[in-house]
Amino acid sequence: MAVSKMCLALVTFVFCNLLISPVVQAAFQFKHHNNEELATILEDVHSRCPNITKVYALSENSVAGNPLLLIEFSDEPGYHELLEPEFKYIANMHGNEVLGRELLLKMADYLCEQYMAGNESIRSLIHLTRIHLMPSMNPDGWEMATAAGGDNYLIGRANNNSVDLNRDFPDLDRLLYSEEEERTVRNNHLMDQIRHLDHPPQPETLAVMRMIMEQPFVASANLHGGDLVANYPYDESRDKDGSTESPSPDDDTFRHLALSYSKMHPRMSDPDQPSCDDTSSGFGKQDGITNGAAWYSVEGGMQDFNYLSSNDFEITLELGCDKYPKTERLAQEWEDNKDALINLIWQSHIGVKGEVKDAVTGRPLVNAVITTRNVTRINETHARKDLIKHDITSAQGGDYWRLLTPGEYEITASVRNYLPLTKRVLVTNPRHEPAFIVNFELQSATNQGQRTWEWDDDVPLDYVVEDLGEEFDKNVGEIPFNQETNWPQNMEEFDLGFKENVGDYNHLKYKWFPSPNRR
């Protein structure tokens, strides 16, 4: 009888402990995960941290039918929160450049693990930022590269249609440069000027274009391999025949973003770090950063497309000489890149942010133009007066984010039929803190205080479609464009599609591809 009671007590103790003990998850394994394992890891992270994550796929699959998966981290996953900046990492754009893919899988695991463990810095980052991680933009290329042994510099680089995805985006640089020559520069959201593309983008490119236009991203990076450097805009040289440095209007800010990564990496900014090709000194002698066009010119790249089509400041991270590192190197690569990856996300909080509203009704003003002038004092008698010739716009909720380096700035918010308002601010960028809030309440410029809707960039497309109906196409001037600024008349119009329930961004961003299915 005593033995039976002891056995019963033992069974009860074990059973109860099984009920109250947390489920032990298998430790993350550093290896080259295939596409099925990639999806499994993302779902596993979500199952461990369901309240702060969401796994989702983009609108298109890859050419071979693989879903383009992301995992989102936020305290309100699936939703844009007012004034909360959005950041994204995209890796494996070139299928044979695989380190970024494994780093983002580990990063998803790490963010969940540290959040649950009570890491205050990580918890704060996730509460203050909506983070999107896309481990692979080119899963088909990864399969081809892996099948070939992972040691070929070309096999798997392109997608399954043999297209280099980092040459497949609309070439907005050339449009900008041509307008500079004509002195008619429109310095932001250049896709609004284009009705047609010179080629139908690949499904992977199209899916990412849609994501860029739907979400109000503030900062981002795409992860590559083949060298060790943080690369910043512009990627395409103004000189068509060579590679010459081509800085953007936000060169100070982009250099800061690049340095925020390179300086946190143990080797990227090391002046003694050798170059990958052994023919020149490494980028470490220039702090591990480079202007893209000064290195080599890229037409149709994703980095510049982000900056010129949206409010997103994107840089490119070249993570090492070896595009397909050996499995045994992956754990150390994670340690080398972990802090830099986290630090770059925090940079989405530099500068200022705020809301633009109607001063009377409090209604959010969408697509308000935020213009910035650097007026930082040089000495007691002189100050800069530099207009930053790249405006950003407010998102669907009237909120905006303007990334800036420390200094004094005059910031102006303007919307058609409203009086512009300028405020002077001092930007200090305290480490790992939210951006300083600068709100704008604009007074109507009309006597009645009512909005007179006209065709302009601040009009949501839904409204214009309702107002104009079948006359829509007649009222929008067509601007044919391709890389040679000459639209081939025999090419069929490519339709990006009219996106219902865009949510975080407004339908204006689709007006350059009016859908035949619009209501």
Kindly list the catalytic residues.
318
Distance of alpha carbon 175 from alpha carbon 238, whole angstroms: 11
Measured distance CA(373)–CA(435) in Å, rounded: 18
Is residue 408 within 8 A of residue 376, CB to CB? The reply is: yes
Q: Contact at 8 Å (CB) between 384 and 374?
A: yes
* Residue 246 CB contacts under 8 Å (≥ 6 apart), including other chains: 234, 236, 237, 238, 239, 291, 292, 293, 294
Pairing of strands 217-224, 86-91: parallel
Q: Taking Cα atoms as reference points, which of 232, 196, 223 lies closest to residue 341?
A: 223
Residue 40: Cβ within 10 Å count:
12
Residues 300/174, Cβ–Cβ less than 8 Å: no
* Spatial contact of 355 and 365, defined as CB atoms under 8 Å apart: no
Helix axes of 99-117 and 35-48: crossing angle, nearest 10 degrees: 10
262 with 415: CB under 8 angstroms? no
